[in-house]
Amino acid sequence: MEKNILLKIAYDGSGFHGWQRQPDRPTVQGTLEKLLSKLIKSDVTLNGTSRTDAGVHALGQCASFRADVRIPVQRLAMVMNNTLASYEKGPFALSPVRILSAEEKPDDFHARFDSRGKKYIYRLNTGGINVFRRNYVYHVAEPLDLEAMRRAAEYITGTHDFKCFEASGSDIRENTVRTVHSLEILEDDISGDIQIHVSGDGFLYNMVRIITGTLVDVGRGRITPDSLEDIILSQDRGKAGHTAPPYGLYLAEVYY
Amino acid sequence: MEKNILLKIAYDGSGFHGWQRQPDRPTVQGTLEKLLSKLIKSDVTLNGTSRTDAGVHALGQCASFRADVRIPVQRLAMVMNNTLASYEKGPFALSPVRILSAEEKPDDFHARFDSRGKKYIYRLNTGGINVFRRNYVYHVAEPLDLEAMRRAAEYITGTHDFKCFEASGSDIRENTVRTVHSLEILEDDISGDIQIHVSGDGFLYNMVRIITGTLVDVGRGRITPDSLEDIILSQDRGKAGHTAPPYGLYLAEVYY
């Protein structure tokens, strides 16, 4: 009997060419489809909620698939994690991908189409360069004015046409209106990190990285907070700030 | 005029096949010798204090070289770091190797032979698996009895023949006596990590990883603390605990 199963997945994206399957490169989707096809002994297609780019991480990516799974669903995450562990070299090596949970869903459920929204976290640090964190946090050399960034964030929160924050060269879409439910700039006193928490009903291509780059440019005084209103109205990618690098970005949560 | 220069170096060892130069694989020594030879326009040989294994990290590796360096020594670290940065792909990518300092030394100075001792740090964690730290901390599934580990550590501290903590198959050495000046087991309440800090006048091959594995086996009750006395006296590698994985190990400091 075919089941419809939702996986919640964490991954370190630094060794992957993104989520989406590619013929000759390691990707998260490719790794998990191969593993599932082997476990289930038939081809499996995973529908991920977000096609994260190369280097982008996930604390809670979601993906669903349909298959005649004989393994009890409550054991599936453990079995998958044990198999992932066996892919790594050495007796102690851990996998960059970890299945956090697996659950059965109604027949018509789809991980992407049924998602009501997502939350991303972006990590910045203005302290010295730390070689151990180079794949996990965006190092900004200048100090940042967090109050200016917070004022700018107020213009972004809400429902707007966000074309200015969409990667240029993206497919022309019918609709670039999205709702940003919340955009917070938090300080972690222990790591010294600045975290940008953003949740919304959906995000255009590179939108979180361009919002982050724009807020960083506000924080270092290259863009004034109040100009955000005009930038958004202009619908012009060229007026917004730079695109922050992928490795500071974490897909934190998917809402259903 | 030839100068004798000492570099202090931090690196994330997870992408390297160790310190020591190898013909076809990325190593820290190979990377830095190639860089220096290019900057100085003649072949450079780096003498590192410690030949760290594949996956082992450094907070303060030391290495010296002799060359007719025209770049002022006080600018050398910056020039090397800028060149290392240019090796990485993408406008924001950071290098896994960072030169912390460069200083001129007397003509007869040698980074390895003049070292009086070293300090290593080993990081353990008994919390859940964290995919982002898999290359940086040894995840132990069982809880550890830190008091038992501290009692065992007392037997290791001091001057002993440490043959039991040397990788089997190592070259026969004339002398396997070493002095462990200090061996501390510390808890970091924020990360939940357990850190083993060990300093000594010198270490046999894999000695810190075998000491760590033995302490972990004490912590989970497989070896009693008081049996450490017999294990050391036996000079038998087979009586000590397992070899902890490389990726939890950090060369922290070199003493001159």
What phi and psi, each to the nearest 5 degrees, are found at residue B130?
-120, 110
Per DSSP bridges, beta strands B47-48 and B3-11 are unpaired
Nearest to A92 among B57, B92, B138 (CB): B138
CB atoms within 10 A of CB A22: 13
Q: Is B190 helix (H, G, I), strand (E, B) or coil?
A: coil
- Which residues, in sequence order, are CB contacts of A153 under 8 Å at separation 6+? A183, A184, A185, A215
Cβ neighbours of residue B29 under 8 Å, at least 6 residues apart?
Answer: B19, B20, B21, B46, B48, B63
Tell me which residue of A211, A245, A201 sits closest to A49, measured CA to CA: A201
Contacts of A97 in chain B (CB under 8 A): 131
Helix (H) or strand (E) holding B124: strand B117-125
Is A171 a known active-site residue? no
- The C-alpha atoms of residue A180 and residue B204 are separated, in whole angstroms, by 57
As to burial, measured by CB atoms within 10 angstroms (0-12 exposed, 13-18 middle, 19+ buried), residue B106 is exposed
Bridge partners for A224 per DSSP: none
Sign of CA dihedral B25, B16, B62, B34: positive
Residue B158 Rama label (left phi>0; alpha psi -120 to 50; beta):
left
A224 contact partners, CB below 8 Å, separation of at least 6: A148, A218
CB contact under 8 A, A245 and B190: no
pLDDT in tens, chain B (256 residues): 899 999 999 999 999 999 999 999 999 999 999 999 999 999 999 999 999 999 999 999 999 999 999 999 999 999 999 999 888 776 677 899 999 999 999 999 999 999 999 999 999 999 988 999 999 999 999 999 999 999 999 999 999 999 999 998 777 667 999 999 999 999 998 889 999 999 999 999 999 999 999 999 999 999 999 999 999 999 999 999 999 999 999 999 999 9
CB contact B16 to A (< 8 Å): no
A85 touches chain B (CB under 8 A): no
Upper half-sphere CA count for residue B121 (Cβ side, 13 Å): 18
ipTM of the prediction greater than 0.90, yes or no: no
Q: Residue A128 — pLDDT band, cuts 50, 70, 90?
A: confident
For residue A152, give the H/E element and its range: helix A146-156
Q: How many inter-chain contacts (A to B, CB under 8 Å) are there?
A: 55
Q: What angle do CA A174, A177, A178 make, to 5 degrees?
A: 130
Please say whether the beta carbons of A231 and A240 come within 8 A.
Answer: yes
As a whole number, the mean pLDDT across chain A is 94
Task: Give the SS3 label for residue A7.
Answer: strand
Among chain B residues, the shortest Cα distance to A9 is held by B131
